[in-house]
Amino acid sequence: MRFNIITIFPDIIDSYTNESILKRAKEKNLIEVNAINLRDFTEDKHKTTDDAPYGGGPGMVMKVEPICKAIQHVRAGVKAQDFASRQAVILLSPQGATFTQKKAQEFSKLEEITFICGRYEGFDARVSEFVDEEISIGNYVLSGGELPALVITEAVSRLIPGVLGDQESSVEETFSKSDNYIEYPHYTRPEVFEVDEKKYSVPEILLSGDHEKIKKWREKNAQKKKE
């Protein structure tokens, strides 16, 4: 699966995806991450990607032309009907629909996703005419779309077969069955952890070796997410 991330800070993307799980997924050719420099789609000598807002007010606004050209570059050569079924262009915005595990599962079926990362006050409103969806990673405002693009890239990549070492680990995970499903609790050594004269023990059933009972205990202890 290919992730295109259109940004004025491509190094942020390379720095994160060149470590850990995403690095291994790239090396195994399970994913491709292209950090696309928005400045490559400008035409003036200063490579301008933002300008002052019409009507006045604070901050700068991301210009529509370079973003539109970058999207056309990504879409070049792909037939419109193929694009709709296999690819998506996502505008990252705190005003968009909230990203969920269900959305990650939906995205993981695509062949290619392109993210547009904003900065400053956000985008010229006309940018939304050229994208498929607007997505937010939560009800808070960050300074740029790079972290949201990486959050979504990682959540989607984990669902691609072979990306995780043990494929089971994304099957039972929190949100895997529904938006309010919480995975059962995990424990590892030591059996008893002691601090300030208080003992914290691992539930005995997990030490029993009885797989059927352990399975039932885990089902019982998987919870609904607190609101």
* Residue ranges in contact with ligand SAM by CB under 6 A: 92-95, 117-119, 121-123, 136-138, 140-145, 148
Q: Cis (ω within 30 of 0) for the bond into 190?
A: yes
Q: Which residue is closest to ligand SAM by CB?
A: 118
Instruction: Report, in Å, the least distance between residue 136 CB and ligand SAM.
Output: 4
CA distance 78 to 177: 34
Instruction: Report, in Å, the least distance between residue 90 CB and ligand SAM.
Output: 9
Asked if 36 and 177 count as a contact pair (C-beta separation under 8 A), the reply is no
Instruction: Report, in Å, the least distance between residue 162 CB and ligand SAM.
Output: 28
Asked if 207 and 188 count as a contact pair (C-beta separation under 8 A), the reply is no
Instruction: Report, in Å, the least distance between residue 139 CB and ligand SAM.
Output: 7
In angstroms, the Cα distances linking 22 to 6, 26, 84, 86, 151 are 18, 6, 26, 21, 11
Pick between residue 138 and residue 203 the one whose CB is nearest to ligand SAM. 138
